[in-house]
Amino acid sequence: MPQTKREKALAAVKRRFVDVPMDDLIPGVPFIRLQSLTAGELNKVREAKVKAQSSNDLKIAIETEPRRYIVACAIEDDGSQMFTLEDVIALEVTDAAIVERLGDHARAHVAPFRTVEDIAKNSEATDEPS
């Protein structure tokens, strides 16, 4: 019997990968590989914004978001995580061009159409009567 769309969607657990060219910024490192995230992993990356209790917490969450995406997505050649959670802070002193490039690619690779701001806009747009 053929699989239903639901079964196919729930079975779609294969990771996607993208290699981000880095040799112009990190000599000897031709690329850094980024992996896609599961929905649960993506929620953890976005969690800091949701948990922000003050404007200062939100500011920190926004400032660290690109680094949190990098930590979650960057992998070594053997498939192991390249960075740890502690590296969110360590990446703060890394060349901004490296962090921006990897952060932009990671966000686009993981969820190309969805940011917290997009979700809020879409919710507002669909809440209005047509």
Residue-wise pLDDT tens digits, 12-40: 778 889 999 999 999 999 999 999 998 88
Torsion of CA 93, 37, 14, 39, to 10 degrees: 180
β-pair type (31-35, 17-21): antiparallel
**The model's pTM:** 0.77
Check if the beta carbon of residue 66 is closer than 8 Å to that of residue 106: yes
Residue-wise pLDDT tens digits, 37-81: 988 899 988 888 888 778 888 888 889 999 999 999 999 999 999
Structure tokens at 79: 């498939």
CATH number corresponding to 17-110: 3.30.2220.20
